[in-house]
Structure 1
Amino acid sequence: MSHLRSSGRRARGLVAFTVTAASTLAAITAAAGPAAATGHPKSVTTADQPKLGDACTSADLGTRHPFIKTTEVSPTITHFKGWFVTEGTTGNHTVSTTTQTTITVSVGLDGKIEGGFGTEALGKVGASLGLNVKVDYSSTSSESNSVTWNFNRPGYYGVYKGTKKVTGTYGSLNCNRVQQGNGSWALKWIEGPGSGSFTTYTTLEEGAVRCEDKVPANSIMAKAQNLLDCGSAAAKAKHPAGAVAPTAKQTQDRLVQRPAPTSGTSAEQPKATGRSARAALNCESGAYRIDVPGKPLNWSAPLLANDGIRLRQSTIFSAHLDNWRLCNVTQNNGVIEASLWNWGNGGCATIPADIANREQAYLTTANCAEDDLQRFYIYRDVPGSSKVGVQNKYTGSMMGHDRYADGELIRQFSSGRQDGTGTYTMTGV
């Protein structure tokens, strides 16, 4: 049974940009008004299963949780072999089956379910359906293909292994400010942009079924019996004891089946994106530091191409590497989407394409391009506070850091940092 678990010189050749008349984030640094007096209610923890509309706190701005939108359960045969037992050959047989189809656990980009978001999502799937489903990376192809069975009477059998394949879609719960009916503001769990799909399965069962057996409709056993492609008993009796050649139906079924990605791959691997062409940016006039709240360290862009964005302290030698502008800004349901352009090296913040599907992939900068790996959602605290959470559009992961230390890399975390280290402030400079 599976278990639920649940600096340096200023870079030259900066990107040209157009300055807009007003800053979208002006409200972040505005003086606190009566709306801010509502304060921050007690946070809802993961164990409390936050729901749409529940209250959250500023510490939750850098986190997210899944919620399940749709599910579908399909009995599926993963291994199969036709087997004929004649008089005098009854008893225990070990049958080597052949692979009928392969099911691999996946959630969005995380083929190996390395992050907490995927595990939490699959845990919620199992809880909602009352099933014990796989919540870690696994594949039915890793199962032994042999089945040992006691055949106590002659007949034509379908020897099988099967499972309940569970698929569906999920959404993302994110903390963001919401205006109340009376005009005040509060932090609540909202449905964040984007969604994804998942695949998992229950514990495999094995067995043998005959044509004449009465079995429950739409069961795993019924699926195996259907593959048996039962014909007349006389026709089956012409076969010697042992393996029966695949029927035309079995052969056709195997041709249309496509195995899921093997270990180390993902069903939705990001494609490498060329960075040679720079995109024209329409940037806000204001620049910001992305700070750790109440601390002197903030995001600083790298000078070296293969380095990442790190926590650094601003100095007179920072050469604007710690200054960021919001570009190509859009806003939907109170959530800002923008590219983060660095004043010091002229690049845009991005997750490297070749590691984008990894938990804790580092954030860096690259030539600005029309690419969702360079687009970020910004979740904001109530007006009067400059606290924000930052989420990558392509991967869905939240930005954060493992520990507060000079030189610490900014990384992506699928569920964010539950200790609040994914919440930053955007300070105008």
Structure 2
Amino acid sequence: MVKIKAMAHGLLLPLLAGSIFLTVNPSAASAATADPKAGDPCKAADLGKRYPFVKSAVTEPTITHFKGYYITDGSTGSQSVTMSTQTVITVEVGNSSQISSGFSIGTLFKVEAFVSRTVRKATATTNAESQTITWNFLKPGYYGLYQGTNKVTGVYGSLNCGRVDLGGGRYTTRWIERPGGTYTTFSTIEEGAVRCEDKVPANSIMSKAQKVLGCTGTPAQAAPRPPAPKPPTNQTAAQPPGFTCLAGYYRIATPDRLLFWWNANGTDEFRLHSWANNARVQWQVCQGPTTNGMVEHVFLTRQSKKCLTLRASDAPTESAPFYEEKCRTVDDGQRFYVYDDVPGTNLVGIQNKMTGFMIGQERVTDNETMRQYSLGKPDGTGTYVLEPVP
């Protein structure tokens, strides 16, 4: 039980929610002002980048803790009242409540601007424990003591740079809208006491507390949480069914073609290394179904016939590495979208289907591990050459 001191009736006291762990990236807010819009032009250095944008937002006053309480003649004055938990709100972006990456934080900064209201932009959950509030009751009556906040939910999307066919043999690169997901966050916690006869603003936390008190009907029930996605199966195959491999082999290199992807020294990680006459640097590129307007790709190494893989346990982790593993019939961690430059350049950006993160590396130097980045690499080093082995 947590005891909290409050002011006299009629004053609202802002209160931080419990279980708050701050991981805010301070650069996300400033970067958000320069974000592109769908249809804007982009260049080759943008192929490995990704930006969030907000498509919709719904703000709903929500009571997190509540207690109906009678004050009779002669019992006014300061009293401590324990409120029970009504609703627990957790900040989420997509299917993750761990707000630790640039894309997730950037999405919540966009939400804040969209709704013109301060919202949580870090890992946070409203307090699930009962709360004790000390209130100075000035008049007898039936009170609803509450803590509450404005819950904000909606849908976000993402922007990626990719090739657009203008017709007549003409191409360009533009920012194109790609699927995103849903988000949940909440604003500042408020607490107070309210009676049915009190005049309060419509669609406010106080008016919601009056409904819970029974003044104007029963309160709306919280929407059920959607079920968690099912994990991928572990069926294996050298080439996933439904995929057709392009002729020959390909290499993936930095734009200057000085460093290439391969798993040197017998490791399972993929790293940047200089060219060598070795099957490790050669890839089979296979194309499969179209999902949300983009063709799915799998990448198999020539040496091991294993697939480029983001492990499910690493999915929410910023800068998690990629590995080679046996190709699975169903595993979005082994599926990728390829964003092309205009014809003739072979420049691409590569995005993992499971997470939406882009492939990049910390530095462009020998022995650097290939990793995933939610926003891609801001310096343009997430752009690569994908070309047939000569």
Please report the TM-score for the alignment, with normalisation by the length of structure 2.
Answer: 0.84
Alpha carbons of structure 1 residues 145 and 210: separation in structure 2 relative to 1, 3 Å: same
Q: Distance in 2 between matches of 1:270 and 1:308?
A: 26
Contact 1:108–1:268 (8 Å) recurs in 2: no
Q: Which residue of 2 aligns with 1:296?
A: 258
Q: Distance in 1 between matches of 2:347 and 2:223?
A: 49
Number of paired residues? 362
Q: Distance in 2 between matches of 1:133 and 1:87?
A: 41
Deviation at 1:215, TM superposition (A): 2.3
1:343 aligns with 2:299: no
Name the aligned partner's letter for residue 163 of structure 1: T
Cα deviations by residue, 1:209-238 (Å, 9 ceiling, x for unpaired): 11222223322111111111259xxxxxxx
Q: Distance in 1 between matches of 2:138 and 2:295?
A: 67
Q: Which residue of 1 aligns with 2:78?
A: 92
Q: Which moved more, 1:403-412 or 1:86-95?
A: 86-95
Alpha carbons of structure 1 residues 309 and 268: separation in structure 2 relative to 1, 3 Å: farther
Q: Distance in 1 between matches of 2:290 and 2:144?
A: 57
Q: Distance in 2 between matches of 1:133 and 1:100?
A: 20
Name the aligned partner's letter for residue 152 of structure 2: V
Q: Which residue of 1 aligns with 2:93?
A: 107
Q: Distance in 1 between matches of 2:260 and 2:131?
A: 54
Q: Distance in 2 between matches of 1:326 and 1:357?
A: 26
SS in 1 for 2:211: helix
Q: Which residue of 1 aligns with 2:247?
A: 285
Q: Percent identity?
A: 44
Q: Distance in 2 between matches of 1:257 and 1:182?
A: 50
Q: Distance in 1 between matches of 2:129 and 2:109?
A: 22
1:129-140 mapped onto 2 (5 Å cutoff): 129-140=115-126
Alpha carbons of structure 1 residues 186 and 328: separation in structure 2 relative to 1, 3 Å: closer
Deviation beyond 6 Å, 4+ runs, structure 1: 1-4
1:85-234 mapped onto 2 (5 Å cutoff): 85-141=71-127, 145-180=131-166, 183-192=169-178, 194-230=179-215
| Superposition CA RMSD, Å | 2.9
Name the aligned partner's letter for residue 185 of structure 2: T
1:79 aligns with 2:39: no
Cα deviations by residue, 1:329-388 (Å, 9 ceiling, x for unpaired): 456798442111111111111110122122222111211123221110000111111111
Q: Distance in 2 between matches of 1:158 and 1:418?
A: 50
Q: Distance in 2 between matches of 1:155 and 1:206?
A: 18
Alpha carbons of structure 1 residues 216 and 326: separation in structure 2 relative to 1, 3 Å: same
1:381 aligns with 2:337: no
Name the aligned partner's letter for residue 201 of structure 1: F
Q: Distance in 1 between matches of 2:323 and 2:76?
A: 66
Structure 1 or 2: larger strand share?
Answer: 2
SS in 2 for 1:48: coil
Q: Distance in 1 between matches of 2:195 and 2:385?
A: 67
Cα deviations by residue, 1:108-131 (Å, 9 ceiling, x for unpaired): 133211111111111111111111
Please report the TM-score for the alignment, with normalisation by the length of structure 1.
Answer: 0.77
Q: Distance in 2 between matches of 1:158 and 1:368?
A: 58
SS in 1 for 2:212: helix
Deviation at 1:147, TM superposition (A): 2.6
1:406 aligns with 2:366: yes
Contact 1:108–1:197 (8 Å) recurs in 2: yes
Contact 1:270–1:357 (8 Å) recurs in 2: no
Q: Which moved more, 1:332-341 or 1:158-167?
A: 332-341
Q: Distance in 2 between matches of 1:221 and 1:401?
A: 50
1:423 aligns with 2:366: no
Deviation at 1:92, TM superposition (A): 2.6
1:255-294 mapped onto 2 (5 Å cutoff): 268=228, 271=231, 273-276=233-236, 278=238, 279-280=240-241, 281-294=243-256
Alpha carbons of structure 1 residues 277 and 295: separation in structure 2 relative to 1, 3 Å: closer
- Show structure 2 runs of 5+ residues with no match: 1-13, 17-23
Name the aligned partner's letter for residue 304 of structure 2: N
Q: Which moved more, 1:85-94 or 1:338-347?
A: 85-94
Name the aligned partner's letter for residue 293 of structure 1: P
SS in 1 for 2:114: helix
Q: Which residue of 2 aligns with 1:368?
A: 327
Q: Distance in 2 between matches of 1:200 and 1:162?
A: 13
Alpha carbons of structure 1 residues 114 and 333: separation in structure 2 relative to 1, 3 Å: closer
Q: Which residue of 2 aligns with 1:312?
A: 273
- Show structure 1 runs of 5+ residues with no match: 7-44, 232-248, 262-266
SS in 1 for 2:124: coil
Q: Distance in 2 between matches of 1:303 and 1:371?
A: 27
Alpha carbons of structure 1 residues 175 and 257: separation in structure 2 relative to 1, 3 Å: closer
1:9-28 mapped onto 2 (5 Å cutoff): none
Contact 1:392–1:398 (8 Å) recurs in 2: yes
Cα deviations by residue, 1:17-74 (Å, 9 ceiling, x for unpaired): xxxxxxxxxxxxxxxxxxxxxxxxxxxx753231011111111100111121221111
Contact 1:134–1:200 (8 Å) recurs in 2: yes
Name the aligned partner's letter for residue 198 of structure 2: D
Q: Distance in 2 between matches of 1:161 and 1:378?
A: 48
